[in-house]
Structure formats: structure tokens, C-alpha cells
Amino acid sequence: MSTATETQHQLSAALHEITERAGPIDRAQADPVEDLRRLAAAVDLFDVDATALPEAVSTIEDVSRHSLAVGFLAWAQRMTGEYLATKPHSPYLAERRSDVARVHRRGVSAMAGGQRQAVGLDPTPITATPDEAGGYRVTGTVAWASNVDPGAVVVLTANLPDGGTRVLAVDASEISFRPAPPLLALDATASGALTLEDVPVPAQAVIAEDLLACLAGIRPRFLLLQGAFCSGVAAESLDQAGGRLTGTAELYGPDHAALTDRYTSARERLHSFAATEASEPGTLPLPQLLELRLELAALATSCSRLSLDVEGGRGYAVASAANRRFREAAFLPVQSPSESQLRWELARAREGQR
């Protein structure tokens, strides 16, 4: 059996397990980290050197067809690895990167505050005060983070008291975690708020000293990998709806065809952009990336709604897959960066092109 064949077999087995566990995960009766470990073993999804961006996009898209909860956490784990990989020659960060790649430790991408600051919105509410040992004492809050447990590696942005920023890798064991209240979906994603109170962070934990430069290099991958989990939800919703266009549901045929055309175009751009970013990093115009991310999230919402409508009364049952996808897709407009932030950024980017 060839290596490629064996890899595909392992991925298929992992996807089967994700499908079987999607219901229990939706009810927060199973831990998605087990699925992340299967993905790490099957395709090295979280090893940035072993799995290139196009393959990572395809895998997260496939995973999200079966469970957005797992796809979303796969994105968080991969993005943590992406941030850590921006400083490849640091032994301290390399150790954490290896642990994240193998899912020996969870990865938490808590960079929403840093991204808002970088685009000219609110400053991140986290401060890093230099200490006598050459490191920092970090204090502040993260309103929302996912994939959190005491062993996790948390990537976040902090401002220095006299100006400047630091992107840091902080051990979650030093951070207080307040779980989120019951959610419409994704209760199993270990999401909630983080509080840091004078947390000691060594100098070796600095990923970047220039926030704008760090994000400029990583933002295309960030947006494309988010687009991948949106794409997976849309694809599965269209497939399931397409198999049920009989009887009175035939009336949804034109809606299904129109959404399929829109989705096919968006998906082609997603994979084309991923290939371009992998071969020619930083050459894709930001407005195109923002537009695609917004479009894929909107398609996920519309396609999951169509699937629910086609299901009829069966879709109203919380345990149905169509209902789960509909509730999962409802998360996408508020997923950071939120729809409102993306629209705001897109308007500014278009203005800057004039």
C-alpha cells in the first residue's frame, strides 16, 4: 500500500469517526480534541511544514462537512501552529509548536484583540510590563477564546506601557478561564473568557515585536482557513438538500441551483487562492480575501437554511444533522473577525484602492 493510499485511508477513517461523534459533540457529550488527535495522526494537519496551505484548506473543509465544531477547532489548532512558525529558530517556540502539531497540547488563537487593533479599531485590553529578568508580566482579558484547557498554548497580543506591541505564546496554566454560557451550538469547543493577572512570560515566548508585520504575513492564511470551514458547512448542506428535492420540496429546486452556482464559484476561488498564497505568499489583494471570507460565511448560512427548509418537520428536531448545521452556521457572523468587522475592513480597503 502506497503512502498516499494509506494517508487517504487514515483520513477517511478519521472523517467517519467525526461523523459518528458529531451528535454527541453537539450535545457536549464528547470531546473534539480526540478528533484533532486523529487528524494529526492521519494527515499532519497541524504541522505547518508537513502539510501545506492548500492541503490544510481541503482537510478543514472536509472535516467541517461532518462537524463544524471539529472543523473550527482544527482551524484554531492549525492557526496556533501558523503563528508559532513565524519564528522558526526559537527552541522555546519550537517545542510548543511540536506539541501543538501532535496535539499533545491544545492551540488557542486568541488574536481577536490584536487583529482589531491592527486594523484601527479598539486597542487590545492586554498589557505586557517588562520585568527585571528580561521577560514580561502580562495583565488583561480575552473576551472569547476556544480550545482552552490548562495545558494549552495561547497566542495573544499585548501592548507595552510605553508603546509597542508583542505577540506572545503564553501557557494556559497561568491564565484564568471562565467557560461561556450555554451556546446555540459549539458547546463542546471549550470556549470562554480568559483573564491574565500579572502572568510571568519569558522573553523566549515573544513570537513577534511588530504586530502589523506579523499579521500581514499570516492574515491571508487565517482568512482562507476560516473560509474552509464555512465552505464545508455550505457543501454538506447543499448535498443533503439536493438529495431531498422531491414532492413539494421540488419547489426549492431553483433556490438550490442558484446557491450551487454561487457556491461552486466561491469554492473554486478558495482553492485557487490557497494555491496562490502557498506559491506566492502575500500577492493576493486583501479586498478579494475579505470578500471571499464574507461570501463563504453567507453561503454557509443560506445553504444550511435551505437544507433545513427542505427537511421540513424533521429538520426542526434538534438532533437532526440539518438542524445542527443550521445552528452551527449561525455562529459564523459573530466568529472573529465578525461580519461587521470584515465589512468595515472591506470598505476601508476598497477606499484605499481608489
Q: Under 8 Å CB-to-CB from 235, ≥6 apart: which residues? A: 61, 65, 263, 267, 303
What are the pLDDT tens digits along the chain (354 aa)? 457 888 899 999 999 999 999 999 999 999 999 999 999 999 999 999 999 999 999 999 999 999 999 999 999 999 999 999 999 999 999 999 999 999 999 999 999 999 999 999 999 999 999 999 999 999 999 999 999 999 999 999 999 999 999 999 999 999 999 999 999 999 999 999 999 999 999 999 999 999 999 999 999 999 999 999 999 999 999 999 999 999 999 999 999 999 999 999 999 999 999 999 999 999 999 999 999 999 999 999 999 999 999 999 899 899 999 999 999 999 999 999 999 999 999 999 888 766
331 and 234, same structural domain? yes
Number of domains in the chain: 3
Q: Which domain holds residue 118?
A: 107-210
265 and 204, same structural domain? no
CATH number of 227's domain: 1.20.140.10
153 and 68, same structural domain? no
340 and 223, same structural domain? yes
13 and 94, same structural domain? yes
pLDDT single digits (tens) 211-265: 999 999 999 999 999 999 999 999 999 999 999 999 999 999 999 999 999 999 9
CATH number of 154's domain: 2.40.110.10
Query: Can you point out the beta strands (E) in the chain?
Result: 107-109, 126-130, 136-145, 153-159, 165-171, 176-179, 192-201, 206-208
Say what the pLDDT of residue 7 is: 86
Domain end call among 101, 123, 143: 101
313 and 290, same structural domain? yes
194 and 228, same structural domain? no
225 and 175, same structural domain? no
Cα distances (Å, whole numbers) of residue 84 to 62, 92, 202, 330, 338: 25, 10, 15, 30, 24
348 and 236, same structural domain? yes
74 and 63, same structural domain? yes
Dist. CA 73–CA 49, nearest whole Å = 19
Domain end call among 143, 176, 210: 210
189 and 206, same structural domain? yes
343 and 226, same structural domain? yes
